[in-house]
A and B are shown apart, each in its own frame.
Chain A
């Protein structure tokens, strides 16, 4: 399946910070077909560094980031469902973000880009869904930051969401999660090449961005998966170097991943998107999480993973218990996996089974949108 990223323009978007963005662009892909009843549309929401290319193979031969979940006969079966995925606001993969041109100045936004939130991202996605002529989505689904967007969708647009699937997600970042994000941001901003966000294309703060990504990668794995994958194996050598070259396999892996990341991700986007995650708090403006989720009419499928220490199961349980306290329709599974936070991307056999049954029921019980 060769896929194509499409672009759509919007005039303006009001932001939580009080500013308004003008001349926005959204990059998105779709898979499968929207049926006549318009009850088979699934919006996939990507995690931190993801993009619109969720499934299939693009013109460069790159496979989508959730291709194992989306496609004919897969968890999100494109024979049945019309699947949409867009790059988030603040991103650097086609949707307006800090690396875009500011139409007022003709220059790149850089740090003049306004600080955005998860609900700003969702508000822009809603414009896309309206543009596609879909009154009510069968499901909003995503892992990690994608799960936060899914939750925000269910609370902000209850009439437009039949089912909400937050995976390895949280209703608000913990101190630990904020701490990791801040460490990444500091690594970027302390790089002399950062230039207060006005770095040229060919000279980004590569060292800072690579270190930020190395830290990120550690948090996405688990102690066990790292032991299995690397152990204490040495890289291309029989003995220690007694220096600070690469000795261990794990060092080599992290450096490689860090460098690779610099080629595909913008340092300013890193700052803005991590900040949006840290600001996210579904309880803001409500006395409790249960009170906030009470707005939602969607059925929920909440999934967490046993070895995920970055978004631990207690955070999913917080969501689930808030829903149960209102006797909301919620399914909760803690899936067994050694892969840590990455599990939702790589360890998908059980996730697929659970997803299938849930989506199947939600489509059968699809409630028509009120005119």
Chain B
């Protein structure tokens, strides 16, 4: 069974492909722990999660996932350097108050970091904004301006620029539209961008 059939999320499918057998994995914003539970069953990883929402953290815990209920931005500094092989931040970057500090922490406590985010440069977003004259609302960004958890709106180009500035090393970059992988013009066509970074 493919991971996406289980989890129904394209980025999870890619992420699970990036994770080697038996890795030590920390999932930031792990939700109900579905990804970690799947990885434990299928890749025998040693997983940890952080989740701030009490109901979700409890669901993760009741799956047997070692979850820490707490705010991820203030809790990464506790972990020792190099504690994990891979630290995952999946579709949460755009919700963080200090996203760059979090990525820096991820690269401190993990040998690798996977950062996945929704691409605000997707053509449908641009078109919606251009034609409607309103804050974009698409399947990817379904929230109204006042109820959105997203506080930063970034595109593939924006993230590339930040990677350059920060000197992060990109091991691979993968782009998704639905469940299909995008090979060219990702800033126009990708809904989700997945970056594998290393220190």
Contact = CB atoms under 8 A, between A and B. Distances in A.
A327 B66 CA distance: 11
Nearest to A328: B66
A358 B54 contact: no
Interface residues of B, number: 21
Contact of A324 (B46, B54, B68): B68
Contact of B61 (A324, A325, A326, A357): A357
Interface in B22-58: 46, 48, 54, 57-58
A331 B79 contact: no
A19 interface: no
Contact of B68 (A332, A357, A361): A332
B63 interface: yes
A333 to B, nearest CB: 5
B79 A325 contact: yes
* Residue of A334, A353, A357 contacting most chain B CB atoms (<10 Å): A357
A361 B41 CA distance: 11
Interface string A329-371: 1111111100000000000001001101110110000000000
B80 interface: yes
A331 B78 contact: no
A360 B70 CA distance: 24
A320 B50 CA distance: 12
A44 interface: no
Nearest to A299: B66
A327 B58 contact: no
Interface in B49-91: 54, 57-58, 61-70, 75, 78-80, 83-84
B64 A360 contact: yes
Contact of B78 (A321, A329, A357, A358): A321
Given A324-B79, A325-B78, A333 B66 contact: no
Interface string A308-333: 00000000010011001111011111
* Residue of A320, A327, A361 contacting most chain B CB atoms (<10 Å): A327
Contact of B58 (A324, A325, A354, A360): A354
A327 B80 CA distance: 7
A357 B80 contact: no
A125 B70 CA distance: 34
A354 B59 CA distance: 8
Contacts of A24: none
A301 interface: yes
A335 B54 contact: yes
Contacts of B79: 324-325, 327
Contacts of A324: 68, 75, 78-79
Nearest to B64: A361
* Residue of A320, A321, A329, A333 contacting most chain B CB atoms (<10 Å): A333
Contacts of B70: 317, 332
Nearest to A360: B64
Contacts of A333: 54, 57-58, 61, 67, 69
B64 A330 contact: no
Given A333-B57, A335-B58, A357 B67 contact: no
Contacts of B80: 325-327
A332 B62 contact: no
B67 A332 contact: yes
Nearest to A330: B66
Contacts of A360: 64
Given A327-B84, A331-B68, A354-B61, 7 more contacts: A301-B61, A324-B75, A330-B68, A331-B61, A332-B67, A333-B69, A357-B64
Top 5 nearest A-B pairs by Cβ distance? A361-B64, A357-B62, A327-B83, A353-B62, A357-B64
Interface of B: 46, 48, 54, 57-58, 61-70, 75, 78-80, 83-84
7 contacts: A330-B66, A331-B66, A332-B69, A353-B62, A356-B62, A357-B65, A358-B64
